[in-house]
């Protein structure tokens, strides 16, 4: 997909501006994550993993009312019939979220309005989360439905905010605001809704300007840190360092430092 292109139909819209790709959940105003959306997202994330021209990704909902209310529960019987079992349905979602989490480029989720169930679990797999200062209702309210999060939400939320906040949110089916999410460490930044989407794009552009090989290396180190011992983490960091040695970006970074100027990375891939 070339720069400055977009798709205007389907459950997943794809917008491309330079090295930033924006994925849009196209089911306004609720932006349910339908079967068709998950199929399209899985295919697009697989493509993104190998697209060196894209160096940062933004995921948002269509419109300005809601990020996503999560899975379209009315489709659950159809999903089970199509895939053969509830396990297969949830396995796909776990697979897609793991692929997002392990992309070698940063992914930013933009949270506003309802961000519930899968509408929080997907952002939890992203590397950055920005939230609206007003109107956001963020939570994993599955206990209100007599069940529990099924897309890795309990594990990722606990790693993100700690056991106490995770239990408080999940066991009480709480829906918290953007400022509260910032206070407990669930999101990185909070912005007025009329500035939120522009800020997400600015952050994506900033990250896209960083050296791609080094970014991929540090994502491997940090995303995998929770599953590695200290020795394993240090070894992964060493591999990341060695992968940057002698690259054009590493040479440019050192030269720019010596010349006291801002480095210009990724010129070979533009």
The catalytic site residues sit at: 121, 142
DSSP string for residues in 125-178: TSSEEEEESSS-EEE--GGGGTS---SSHHHHHHHHH-HHHHHHHHHTT--B-H
Helices (H), 211-247: 212-223, 230-244
Number of neighbouring beta carbons within 10 Å of residue 197: 18
Q: Is the peptide bond before 254 cis (omega within 30 degrees of 0)?
A: no
What are the Cα distances from residue 189, in Å, to 31, 92, 109, 199, 228?
Answer: 22, 30, 11, 10, 28
CA angle 32, 181, 155 (to 5 degrees): 70
CA 8 to chain CA mean position, Å: 21
Q: With beta carbons less than 8 A apart as the criterion, state whether 250 and 244 touch.
A: yes
Is 148 exposed, middle or buried, given 0-12, 13-18 or 19+ CB atoms closer than 10 A?
Answer: exposed
Beta bridge partner(s), residue 70 = 32
At which residue do the structure tokens 């979602």 appear? Answer: 93
């Amino acid at each position: 997909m070339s720069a400055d292109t977009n798709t205007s139909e389907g459950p997943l819209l794809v917008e491309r501006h330079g090295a930033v790709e924006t994925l849009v959940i196209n089911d306004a105003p609720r932006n349910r994550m339908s079967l068709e959306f998950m199929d399209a997202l899985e295919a697009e994330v697989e493509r993104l993993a190998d697209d060196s021209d894209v160096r940062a990704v933004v995921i948002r909902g269509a419109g300005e009312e809601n990020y996503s209310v999560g899975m379209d529960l009315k489709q659950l019987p159809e999903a089970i019939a199509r895939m053969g079992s509830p396990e297969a349905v949830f396995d796909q979602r776990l697979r897609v979220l793991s692929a997002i989490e392990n992309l070698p480029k940063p992914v930013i989720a933009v949270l506003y309005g309802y961000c519930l169930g899968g509408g929080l679990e997907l952002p939890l797999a992203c590397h950055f989360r920005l939230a609206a200062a007003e109107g956001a209702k963020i939570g994993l309210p599955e206990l209100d439905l007599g069940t529990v999060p099924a897309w890795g939400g309990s594990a990722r939320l606990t790693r993100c905010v700690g056991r106490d906040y995770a239990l408080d949110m999940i066991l009480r089916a709480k829906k918290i605001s953007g400022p509260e999410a910032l206070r407990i460490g669930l999101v990185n930044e909070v912005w007025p809704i009329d500035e939120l989407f522009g800020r997400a794009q600015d952050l994506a552009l900033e990250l896209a300007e960083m050296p791609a090989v080094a970014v991929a290396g540090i994502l491997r180190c940090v995303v995998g840190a929770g599953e590695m011992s200290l020795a394993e983490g240090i070894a992964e960091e060493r591999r990341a360092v060695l992968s940057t040695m002698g690259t054009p970006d590493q040479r440019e970074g050192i030269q720019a430092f010596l010349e006291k100027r801002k480095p210009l990375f990724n010129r070979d891939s533009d």
